[in-house]
Chain A
Amino acid sequence: MVSKETEKQIDHDLIRKVQNGDMVAFNELATRYKDRLMNVITRMINSQQEAEDIVQETFMRVYQHRDSFDFQHCFSTWIYTIALNLARNELRKRKRFKFFDIFDLQGKESEIAVEMKLPSNLGKAIENAMATLPEKYRTAFVLRDIQELPYEEIAKIMNIPLGTVKSRVNRARAMLRERLKPRMEEYNALSKGTLLPVSLL
């Protein structure tokens, strides 16, 4: 596992080479960050294709403004900030986002039961529940619990105090828990070995 300082140094070396016109270094930077950004942006805007467009646009912005990068900051902070700003602009442009309301499943117990038997479907339920979170809580939650970035870096990316970051993350977890509560109760009941009617299989 590469330490944070080493990662920072590698990024700075690469961006310095990019400033000198080295496209191999730029390709290396893209390889290092493309999947991380894709993971975050997809959770933010809930669309694979648009997320890829945003990630590509992020790297274009990095290239166009490569000379303005301040070496006193982390490159990861910079690129995440650009990506999240673009995602935010996309959400504002949409003015709405699609989400799958888990409460629509109420009354469809058979389907719930089948889903709950497969752990991966709980993951799908979590993704859908995440999409219902307000933007500022969702951003903090994705950066912390999915990307596992440190609180200090999240504070710099979102440009908010450290205490606010912790508060938002905590609040997002609580909201997620509330949205998943009915499903979790079903899941717990199934995990205790309760037999299902044949018609539900």
Chain B
Amino acid sequence: MRCRRVRSYLSAYCRGELAGWRHQAVREHIAACPECRREEAVFWEINKSIGNLPERKVSADFNSKLLDRIAKERFRETRTKAYLPRRAPIFGRGKLIPAFASACLVLAFVMFGGVDFVHSPDRSDMYVNRPADVELDSSYMHVLPQEDRQDVIVEHQRNAWAFKQKLAKANRMRNLMNRLAGQNSFGSGYSHSPDNQLIPASQSFITYRPVGSTQTQLTSGN
């Protein structure tokens, strides 16, 4: 092996990185060549000096400064927008429509007298909880033709309670419609009083009177 090639291997040879036939060839050449032997000595000296180089170290408070910086970084992480929870909306998009619809229904109920209807003296318990033997107010008879009155009486006597409920319901509906329209309903909006006087329908309604009561009475709708 020639000197030029051997010198290219010398640094690896001095570091123990050459193996096999190359290592053997370089060793044999060095033994025979004084120039290459001097070069080998230089490389050994350089390697020895590199090994004796002082190790560079960080300052004594490096760890504390680093952890302090990390703590600030962690604090900053908790303040980012992504970390802060979104404020829960009072009305989310999913709740808005049902809430609006409910508000409209309530408003319509109030505007059209639903509150009054609910609290109206017309809708009293006497319509629902009356005993089965309550008789009809005879003022009702004035609106029927003469020939039907007896049939009605018989029917009423047979199915008194069910019919009374229906009449009560009809009465309530009429009053509600009177209030909605602002005028009397059921045709002309007028009816006849027991003494055949024409009166506004809103002022007359059927009421139930206790059993045994014979006096015909017209009760005001208000």
Contacts and interface: CB of A to CB of B under 8 A. Distances in A.
Whether A and B are associated in the same complex: the answer reads: yes
Given A119-B49, A170-B8, A39 B55 contact: yes
A184 interface: yes
A39 B53 CA distance: 10
Given A38-B58, A52-B59, A123-B49, A174 B11 contact: yes
A81 interface: no
Interface in A42-71: 42-43, 48, 51-52, 55-56, 59-60, 63-64
Given A59-B66, A173-B11, A180 B56 contact: no
A52 B70 contact: no
Nearest to A120: B52
Interface string B40-63: 011101110110111111110011
Contact of B56 (A39, A63, A64, A120): A39
Interface of B: 8, 11-12, 15, 38, 41-43, 45-47, 49-50, 52-59, 62-63, 65-67, 69-70, 73
Contacts of B65: 56
A29 B92 CA distance: 48
A interface, by DSSP: helix, strand, loop or mixed? helix
A123 B69 CA distance: 35
Contacts of A119: 49, 52
A133 interface: no
A145 interface: yes
Nearest to A49: B59
Q: Which of B53, B54, B63 has the most CB of A within 10 A?
A: B53
A64 B50 contact: no
A176 interface: yes
Nearest to A180: B46
Contacts of B38: 188
A23 B11 contact: no
B46 to A, nearest CB: 7
27 contacts: A26-B67, A30-B63, A35-B58, A38-B58, A42-B56, A48-B56, A51-B56, A52-B58, A56-B65, A56-B66, A56-B69, A60-B66, A60-B70, A63-B70, A119-B52, A120-B52, A123-B52, A126-B50, A145-B50, A146-B53, A170-B11, A173-B11, A174-B8, A177-B43, A177-B46, A181-B42, A188-B41
Contacts of B70: 23, 26, 60, 63
B46 A176 contact: yes
B18 to A, nearest CB: 11
Given A30-B66, A177-B42, A55 B58 contact: yes
B46 A126 contact: yes
Interface string A14-52: 000000000100110011001100110011000010011
Nearest to A181: B42
Contacts of B67: 23, 26-27
A187 interface: yes
Contacts of B42: 177, 180-181, 184, 188
A112 interface: no
Contacts of A177: 11, 42-43, 46
B57 A60 contact: no
Q: Name the 10 nearest CB pairs between A and B, nearest first.
A: A173-B11, A42-B56, A39-B56, A122-B49, A38-B56, A34-B58, A35-B57, A38-B58, A123-B49, A184-B42
Given A31-B63, A177-B46, A187-B45, A60 B53 contact: no
Nearest to B71: A23
B62 A56 contact: yes
Contacts of B12: 170
A146 B15 CA distance: 12
A176 B135 CA distance: 127
A149 to B, nearest CB: 13
A11 B58 CA distance: 20
Contacts of B41: 188
A120 B50 CA distance: 10
